[in-house]
Amino acid sequence: MTQVDNSLANPPPQPSPFSQARLVELWCAEPIFFASRELSDTYYTEGVIGNYALAYALGWARSPYRLQGKETGKPRYIEDLTPLNGQRYILPAWPLDNRPSFRFERFNALSDSYWYAMTNNRVATAREDLPLNRTGKKPNTYRPSNFPQTGRLRMLERGNRFQTLVFGEVALPEYIRVGKFMSKVRLEMSEPLPVQRLPRGTYSCNTYLNSADLPTAIDLLRFDVMSIPPAPLLKYLQFRGPAWQVGDWICPANLAFCGGHVNATA
Give the pLDDT of residue 120.
Answer: 67
Is the predicted pLDDT of residue 197 greater than 60, yes or no? yes
Give the pLDDT of residue 12.
Answer: 53
Is the predicted pLDDT of residue 140 greater than 70, yes or no? no
Label residue 26 exposed, middle or buried (CB < 10 Å: 0-12, 13-18, 19+). buried
Is the predicted pLDDT of residue 55 greater than 70, yes or no? yes
Cα 247 from chain centroid (whole Å): 24
Is the predicted pLDDT of residue 1 greater than 90, yes or no? no
Question: What is the tens place of the pLDDT at every residue in 99-121?
Answer: 899 999 998 877 777 887 777 66
Residue whose C-alpha is closest to residue 77's, from 53, 101, 98: 53
Long-range pairs for 108-113: beta carbons < 8 A, 24 or more residues apart: 108/149, 108/150, 109/147, 109/148, 109/149, 109/150, 110/149, 110/150
All residues at 6 or more sequence positions from 185 whose CB lies less than 8 Å from its CB, including other chains: 26, 27, 28, 29, 30, 32, 49, 57, 175, 176, 177, 178
Taking residues 53-70, report their average pLDDT. Answer: 87
